[in-house]
């Protein structure tokens, strides 16, 4: 076994355990705040406020408490463990600022979601799902549209690719691929990590292709063409739009499921709530959303892995160079200490990308076909 593979397994094994611990702590905290005296104590902070103030504030506080409980795991994972393997460039102060930003954004989104649902109950007590479900689906679209310009800049600074020759070459490549782009942006990921990545986000006029500055430091033109072509594949096949439609459906379904659960008097009694419009249900709404997300994760992960294969093939078709494809994944694998063989159950449940060996094997099969040049 090669040394990089040994390093990858030494790196990922503890991270997987930290991931599972983080999930368990998050769910346990939400359950305690939903069903125990701890939740009663937190509710006393907002008791006496009008429902339209109490519901979002309780949701925001719930997110904050959960984040505090999980800080030790995050500190170990993002600073100590990443630093041990030379992947973190972040200071303790930078970590704290990022953590506070994450709580602020997550808390605000949770507060808005809970307020919207409780408001729907007060506006239409006997038919609130008919009001809440379509509004929730619409919010998903709005958030997907505005995230690149409102949410992503909270955590990273973005600028156009400074190397004009490289930018022109990549734009020309995108045009030849049939997916022209106006701008390829660079994120200042190096202030946190030495890992490399790229992604697409947004809808319509906010669509963007983003490259980590760390990727630009490590990859040559042919590797960058592969990475950009892969990301353009997500645009070519409308994966962001399809993912948004799925999220809309899932969110609307979540509202209907909550409506069914909150008809149960025994559940309301366990929550200490008088009905679905009682702000006291806020922690349970976040708990149920988290459990539903975890239950849906295997299906989302499987679909995401399928899309990744589709975009890999698109990249190979556009570049027509299997050696460049293999070189690009060598860069990604080495920089990110990619795990060649993650635990199977974890892979099926939570991992959204195929392993590098799987992707290379699929690319080689495609290159042997009549439609993809080697």
The pLDDT tens digits for 214-246 are: 999 999 988 999 999 999 999 999 999 999 999
| pLDDT score for 1 | 38
Indicate the burial class of 162 (C-beta count within 10 angstroms; 0-12, 13-18, 19 or more): exposed
CA distance 266 to 158: 50
Can you tell me the distance from the alpha carbon of 192 to that of 91, in angstroms, rounded to the nearest whole number?
8
Predicted pLDDT of residue 82? 96
User: What is the pTM (predicted TM-score) of this model?
Assistant: 0.93
* Secondary structure class of 184 (helix, strand, coil): strand
Give the pLDDT confidence of 347-363 residue by residue, as tens digits.
999 999 999 999 999 99
pLDDT at 177: 84
Task: Judge whether 129 and 259 are in contact, CB under 8 Å.
Answer: yes
Tell me which residues of the chain have a pLDDT lower than 70: 1-5, 370-374
Residue 5's pLDDT is what? 67
Q: What pLDDT, on the 0 to 100 scale, is given for residue 316?
A: 94
The three-point CA angle 98-101-107 to 5° equals 135
């Amino acid at each position: 076994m090669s040394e990089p593979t040994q390093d990858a397994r030494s790196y990922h094994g503890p991270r997987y355990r930290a991931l599972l611990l983080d999930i368990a702590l998050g769910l346990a905290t939400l359950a305690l705040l939903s069903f125990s005296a701890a939740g009663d104590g937190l509710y006393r902070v907002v008791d006496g406020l009008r429902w339209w103030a109490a519901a979002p504030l309780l949701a925001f506080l719930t997110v904050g408490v959960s984040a505090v409980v999980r800080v030790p795991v995050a500190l170990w994972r993002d600073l100590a463990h990443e630093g041990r393997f030379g992947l973190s460039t972040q200071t303790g102060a930078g970590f704290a600022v990022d953590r506070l930003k994450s709580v602020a954004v997550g808390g605000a989104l949770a507060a808005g979601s809970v307020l919207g649902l409780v408001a729907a109950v007060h506006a239409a007590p006997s038919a609130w799902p008919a009001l809440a479900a379509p509004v929730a689906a619409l919010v998903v679209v709005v958030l997907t549209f505005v995230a690149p310009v409102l949410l992503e800049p909270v955590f990273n600074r973005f600028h156009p690719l400074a190397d004009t020759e490289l930018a022109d070459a990549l734009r020309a490549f995108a045009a030849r691929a049939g997916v022209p782009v106006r701008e390829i942006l660079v994120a200042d990921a190096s202030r946190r990590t030495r890992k490399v990545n790229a992604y697409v986000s947004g809808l319509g006029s906010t669509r963007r292709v983003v490259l980590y500055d760390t990727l630009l430091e490590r990859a040559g033109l042919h590797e960058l063409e592969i990475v950009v072509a892969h990301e353009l594949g997500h645009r070519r096949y409308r994966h962001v739009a399809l993912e948004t439609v799925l999220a809309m459906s899932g969110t609307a379904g979540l509202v209907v499921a909550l409506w069914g659960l909150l008809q149960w008097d025994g559940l309301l009694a366990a929550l200490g709530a008088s009905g679905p419009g009682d702000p006291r249900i806020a922690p349970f709404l976040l708990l149920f959303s988290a459990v539903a997300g975890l239950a849906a994760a295997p299906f989302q992960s499987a679909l995401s892995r399928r899309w990744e294969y589709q975009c890999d093939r698109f990249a190979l078709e556009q570049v027509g160079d299997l050696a460049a494809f293999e070189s690009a994944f060598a860069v990604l694998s080495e920089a990110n200490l990619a795990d060649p063989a993650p635990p199977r159950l974890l892979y099926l449940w939570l991992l959204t990308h195929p392993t590098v060996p799987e992707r290379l094997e699929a690319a080689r099969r495609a290159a042997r076909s009549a439609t993809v040049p080697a």
